[in-house]
C-alpha cells in the first residue's frame, strides 16, 4: 500500500488505463500544458503526448460533442470539466447524445465515455459555482453516476468507469483533491453499483456519498461518545444505487438518516427514503430522515455557507430524533 492524494489517485487511474488501451485519451480545459486545473493530470502530457492529452477551447458543448462522436467511433474519451457547473452548457450532449445513443441506434452505437470533474461547493465560489448535479444525471436513463469519497475508491472506480461501455458521470470535489489515503501498489478495479459499509453499527444506519462522508464519519464519532453505534454506508455509485446493502442495514438497525449535499427536492436521498419505506417499512422504528443543503442558492458569505450545508450537528440531531433521544 502507498499513501497518495485524491488527485494522484485520479491521475494514476487515467494513466494506467491509457497505458493499457491506446484508444483512451484525455481532453478538457487546461488538462495538458497546465497539468490540470487541480493538477489531476500532472505529467500526463509529457508521457502520452499532445495527441492523447490535449487542451480544448472554453466550449464545453463543443468538446463534449467531439468526445461523444469519438466514443461512437471506437475510442474511449475522458472529458474533464473544470467543474460540473460548466457542464450545463453541454447538457444536450450528456443527456441526449451520450445517454440515449445506444437505445436510439438500436444497439448499433455504444458510447464508452467518462465525463469527470468536481461537483458541489468548494467554499466561497458563489451560487453559480456551487451546485450539485448527481441527482440530475442519475435521473437520466443511460448514464451511470459515480461519486467517490476517498483515493482508494476513486482510483478503482475510475478505472472501472473507463472500461465501461456506457457513458459514466464521474464526480469529484475541489475540497477532496488534497485528501490522502492508502492505495494498493498493484492494479485493482471496483465494480460500479456496489456500496460499502465503512463502519459497522447496530443502532442507526447513516448513508452518504462523496465528500459528505466526512460529515457522516464526524457525526458517527460524536454519536459513539453517547453510546450510539452508527453503521456508516458509502453509496459510491448513485446510478445504479445499491439498494440491497442499504436495506439489509436498515433491517438490522431499524433506523436511517441520509446525508446529502444536494438540495432536498428530487434528490438521491428522496429516492432512497422512498425505497427504504417501500421495501423495509415493517422494520422501521422511526421515519427515515434526510440531512440536505437548505433549499436556497449557496451564498458567498462563510456564515451562510455554514448554515446552508449539511454538517455533523444537524446529522447528530437527526439521529437523536430517530433514536428518540434528546
Which one from 29, 60, 134, 174 is the annotated catalytic residue? Answer: 60
* Strand order from edge to edge, sheet including 204-208: 196-199, 230-234, 204-208, 256-259, 289-291
For residue 33, the SS3 value is coil
Q: For residue 145, list its beta bridge partners.
A: 169, 239
Distance CA 37, CA 171 (A): 15
Distance CA 43, CA 51 (A): 14
Q: Give the Cβ contact number of residue 209 at 10 Å.
A: 28
Terminal-residue alpha carbon distance, the chain: 43
The three three-digit cell numbers of residue 22, written as one number: 491506446
Which one from 17, 129, 172, 261 is the annotated catalytic residue? Answer: 129
Distance CA 80, CA 69 (A): 16
Q: For residue 77, list its beta bridge partners.
A: 25
218 among known catalytic residues = no
129 among known catalytic residues = yes
User: CA-based angle 317:320:322, to the nearest 5?
Assistant: 110
- Catalytic residue set: 60, 129
Amino acid at each position: 500500500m502507498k499513501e497518495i492524494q485524491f488527485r494522484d489517485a485520479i491521475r494514476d487511474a487515467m494513466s494506467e488505463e491509457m497505458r493499457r488501451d491506446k484508444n483512451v485519451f484525455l481532453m478538457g480545459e487546461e488538462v495538458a500544458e497546465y497539468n490540470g486545473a487541480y493538477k489531476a493530470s500532472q505529467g500526463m502530457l509529457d508521457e502520452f503526448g499532445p495527441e492523447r492529452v490535449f487542451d480544448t477551447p472554453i466550449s464545453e458543448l463543443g468538446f463534449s460533442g467531439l468526445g461523444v462522436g469519438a466514443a461512437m467511433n471506437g475510442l474511449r474519451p475522458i472529458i474533464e470539466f473544470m467543474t460540473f457547473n460548466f457542464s450545463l452548457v453541454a447538457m444536450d450532449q450528456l443527456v441526449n447524445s451520450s445517454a440515449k445513443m445506444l437505445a436510439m441506434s438500436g444497439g448499433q452505437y455504444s458510447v464508452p465515455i467518462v465525463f469527470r470533474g468536481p461537483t458541489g461547493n468548494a467554499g466561497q465560489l458563489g451560487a453559480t459555482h456551487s451546485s450539485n448535479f448527481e441527482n440530475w444525471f442519475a435521473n437520466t436513463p443511460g448514464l451511470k453516476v459515480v461519486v467517490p469519497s476517498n483515493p482508494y475508491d476513486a482510483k478503482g472506480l475510475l478505472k472501472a468507469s473507463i472500461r465501461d461501455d456506457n457513458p459514466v458521470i464521474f464526480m469529484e470535489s475541489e475540497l477532496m483533491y488534497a485528501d490522502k489515503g492508502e492505495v494498493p501498489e498493484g492494479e485493482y478495479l471496483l465494480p460500479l453499483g456496489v456500496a460499502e459499509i465503512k463502519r459497522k453499527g447496530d443502532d442507526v444506519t447513516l448513508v452518504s456519498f462523496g465528500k459528505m462522508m466526512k460529515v457522516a464519519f464526524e457525526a458517527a464519532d460524536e454519536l459513539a461518545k453517547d453510546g450510539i453505534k452508527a453503521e456508516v454506508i458509502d453509496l459510491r455509485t448513485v446510478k445504479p444505487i445499491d439498494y440491497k446493502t442499504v436495506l439489509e442495514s436498515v433491517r438490522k438497525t431499524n433506523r436511517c438518516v441520509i446525508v446529502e449535499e444536494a438540495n432536498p427536492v428530487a434528490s438521491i436521498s428522496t429516492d432512497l427514503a422512498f425505497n427504504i419505506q417501500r421495501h423495509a417499512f415493517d422494520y422501521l422504528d422511526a421515519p427515515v430522515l434526510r440531512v440536505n443543503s437548505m433549499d436556497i442558492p449557496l451564498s458567498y458569505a462563510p456564515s451562510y455557507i455554514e448554515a446552508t450545508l449539511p454538517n455533523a450537528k444537524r446529522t447528530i440531531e437527526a439521529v437523536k430524533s430517530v433514536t428518540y433521544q434528546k
